[in-house]
């Protein structure tokens, strides 16, 4: 095989490898985009859930100094 044939063969293999890497890069870029969108969606859902929990916590009755929790009241009910 002549030197030119060897170079031609090597260049063709390099071009094939380049095309393959280009396709892989495009697929990975798509995956990163999809995962970024999924992450952002999950973050938004988490923020919404936290907001709902905060609203529910704010609606809970506040325990005053003289009040007891239901568990404390139940425990004391059966004792003399």
- What are the boundaries of each domain within the chain? 3-58
For residue 76, pLDDT over 60 is answered with no
Query: Measured in Å, how far apart are the chain's first and last C-alpha atoms?
Result: 106
Give the model's confidence band at 79: pLDDT under 50 very low, under 70 low, under 90 confident, else very high: low
Instruction: Name the maximum alpha-carbon separation found in the chain.
Output: 107
The two tokens of residue 14 are 């390099």
For residue 2, pLDDT over 70 is answered with yes
Rg (CA), the chain: 33
Residue 62: the pLDDT is 78
pLDDT in tens, 22-68: 999 999 999 999 999 999 999 999 999 999 999 999 999 876 655 66
Evaluate whether 26 touches 32 at the Cβ level (below 8 Å).
no
Residue 46: closest CA among 38, 34, 35: 38
Give the model's confidence band at 1: pLDDT under 50 very low, under 70 low, under 90 confident, else very high: confident
The whole model's pTM is what?
0.61
Evaluate whether 63 touches 69 at the Cβ level (below 8 Å).
yes
């Amino acid at each position: 095989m002549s030197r030119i044939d060897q170079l031609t063969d090597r260049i063709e293999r390099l071009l094939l490898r380049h095309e393959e890497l280009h396709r892989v890069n495009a697929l990975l870029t798509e995956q990163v985009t999809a995962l970024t969108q999924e992450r952002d969606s999950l973050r938004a859902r988490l923020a919404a859930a936290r907001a709902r929990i905060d609203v529910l916590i704010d609606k809970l009755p506040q325990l005053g100094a003289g009040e007891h929790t239901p568990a404390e009241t139940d425990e004391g009910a059966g004792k003399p």
